[in-house]
Amino acid sequence: AQSVTQLDSQVPVFEEAPVELRCNYSSSVSVYLFWYVQYPNQGLQLLLKYLSGSTLVKGINGFEAEFNKSQTSFHLRKPSVHISDTAEYFCAVSEQGAQKLVFGQGTRLTINP
Amino acid sequence: DADVTQTPRNRITKTGKRIMLECSQTKGHDRMYWYRQDPGLGLQLIYYSFDVKDINKGEISDGYSVSRQAQAKFSLSLESAIPNQTALYFCATSVSVGGTDTQYFGPGTRLTVL
């Protein structure tokens, strides 16, 4: 069965600094990978997804993620964060054919002015 | 208007009470899901339904039941609520495209069991 580990529960950064949120997964088969964002008091919104093809995936709000099969990772990056990026970020994995998502524990990103 | 709506948005109840959380969608998706979110645990799948006649248990279905009244409606019930069911509950919908699903989430229901 697949599993997801988000390596940092909280990440504080200063505004306009770069950020990386780390995600590792475990699966014995091919997977699809997702990043979702949850703004305060809201539901989850899809940031980006990797299905196949190019390992660098670009999403909304300037975020991107890179799929690394050998390291079983799917880290999320943004070169310059804004106060509005303050949110909780969830990595999720779906085994091909499984049709269900397994979520990581979440990383709370806090942007300081 | 929101594509996935949940009612109520907040609910406080007492131990032993029966509670129903409702989810409606206008996306026309066949697949619907119920998750609970607890701090530090991410989202855990309670039940999911791939069509009106298909109901499946998720990771943490004990103490919960569901009803898929129509393609657009999927309700979650707590027959006898207990305090450790205090959590944020999310409904989601999806449709399979190219062998995978992208899930779309409602705004959540915050449930407190006293």
Chain segment B30-79, per-residue pLDDT in tens: 999 999 999 888 899 999 999 999 999 999 999 999 999 999 999 999 99
Higher pLDDT pick, B40 / B86: B86
Task: Compute mean pLDDT per 10 residues along chain A, 113 residues long, and list them.
Answer: 90 97 92 93 91 91 95 96 96 83 94 91
- Minimal CA separation from B71 to chain A, in Å: 18
pLDDT exceeds 70 at position B6: yes
- How far, in Å, CA of A33 to CA of B1, rounded? 29
pLDDT exceeds 60 at position B1: no
Show the tokens assigned to A13: 């950064």
CB proximity B10 to A under 8 Å: no
pLDDT exceeds 80 at position B99: no
Nearest to A106 among B42, B90, B96 (CB): B42
Q: Supply the pLDDT for residue B40.
A: 81
Q: Supply the pLDDT for residue A79.
A: 97
What mean pLDDT value characterizes chain B? Answer: 92
Q: Which of residues 70-109 of B touch A (CB under 8 A)?
A: 90, 92, 96, 98-108
Side chain identity, residue A78? K
Q: How close are the terminal C-alpha atoms of chain A, in Å?
A: 41
The answer to whether the Cβ–Cβ distance between A105 and B42 falls below 8 Å is: yes
Nearest CA in chain A to B41: A105
Percentages helix, strand, coil for chain B (3-state, rounded to 5) are 5, 60, 35
Return contacts of B77-82, CB within 8 angstroms, 24+ apart: B77/B18, B77/B19, B77/B20, B77/B21, B78/B18, B78/B19, B78/B20, B78/B111, B79/B18, B80/B16, B80/B17, B80/B18, B81/B13, B81/B14, B81/B15, B81/B16, B81/B17, B81/B18, B81/B19, B81/B111, B81/B113, B82/B15, B82/B113
Q: Supply the pLDDT for residue B71.
A: 93
The answer to whether the Cβ–Cβ distance between B43 and A44 falls below 8 Å is: yes
Q: Supply the pLDDT for residue B77.
A: 97
The answer to whether the Cβ–Cβ distance between B102 and A96 falls below 8 Å is: no
